[in-house]
Amino acid sequence: MAVLILGSIALDTVKTPVEEHADLLGGSASYAALGASFFSPVKLVGIVGDDFPASEFEFWKSRGIEAEGVQRVKGKTFRWSGEYAWDMNTRETRSVALNVFEHFRPALPQSYRETDFVLLANIAPALQAHVLDQMKRPRFVVADTMDLWIETTRADLDALLQRVDLLILNDSEARELTKETSLIKAGRKIRKSGPKYVAIKKGEHGALLFGEDEFFSCGAYPLEDIHDPTGAGDTFAGGLAGYLASRKTDPTFADLRRATIYGSVLASFNVEAFSLERLRTLTMDEIAERYQMFKAMSAFEEISV
């Protein structure tokens, strides 16, 4: 089954302590769509300006990413610039230019509206809800969020939580959303506020997954060299959602466990190069090999269904 992915599409400038690159493909939807495309066809929703490279549309097509829902309008594409500290965990935003993204109002093509699986990647909750309003009874809805929306659009976010099946956020965002220092308490509290499942990303320390009476924790794949952490969380969300859509059934907790592992595997590849360059050359054989290593390393046992 296909997965519909909504989010930002950007051109990034990223600086690390050893390198700097400009005009890189970025944005939450870009990373999520490519991550999901390893498992399922993708229906992409976003907006770009007339400066956006036409070659990216061709690349999306080659990866089974349908771009009918991407609006191409006159003006400049959303641009972001950031700089990472030596630990690669601390990031400073140097500039943000919303450009055509500032007035983005997603309009879904008719062919998108009956998609069963939906990933609302990191974007304003009001826009996430606007897309859901155009959908016809999606089977499973995943949403990502960030501290900005928790701080500035909390009412919209709280309303959205009543409409999603799985919420993805990182550890600091979970604490900010719930005012709980314990991530276990935070995950359970968020789940009770609406979502059936909650996934809390912990960066280099892995992820936590919460169900009604079920819990799963996995570590992160150990890497010696990290070139660019940008988009790792979005790639995690895309890989997770793409795997769930590939199952073609209502997800079980066992499916979500595997999806969490696959999302972590995809994120581990993503940080090995700037932008999406590593994902462009990644193969399913490499994913399968690292998945098996990940399982063995984390003592993850496959569950028969």
pLDDT tens for 216-240 read: 998 888 887 889 999 999 999 999 9
Residue 304 has pLDDT above 70, yes or no: no
**Residue 304 included in any domain:** no
Say how many C-beta atoms besides its own lie within 10 A of residue 220's C-beta.
Answer: 19
* C-beta of residue 141 within 8 angstroms of C-beta of residue 163: yes
**Residue 269 included in any domain:** yes
3-state secondary structure of 216: strand
Residue type for position 205: H
Quick: pLDDT tens for 257-282: 999 999 999 999 999 999 999 999 99
**Residue 226 included in any domain:** yes
Point out which residues pair with 281 in neighbouring strands: none
**Residue 305 included in any domain:** no
Write down the mean pLDDT value for the chain: 94
Quick: pLDDT tens for 65-96: 999 999 999 999 999 999 999 888 788 999 99
**Residue 63 included in any domain:** yes
Give the CATH number of the domain where residue 261 resides: 3.40.1190.20
**Residue 144 included in any domain:** yes
Residue 127 has pLDDT above 80, yes or no: yes
| Percent of the chain whose predicted confidence (pLDDT) is above 90 | 87
Q: Whole-model pTM? A: 0.94
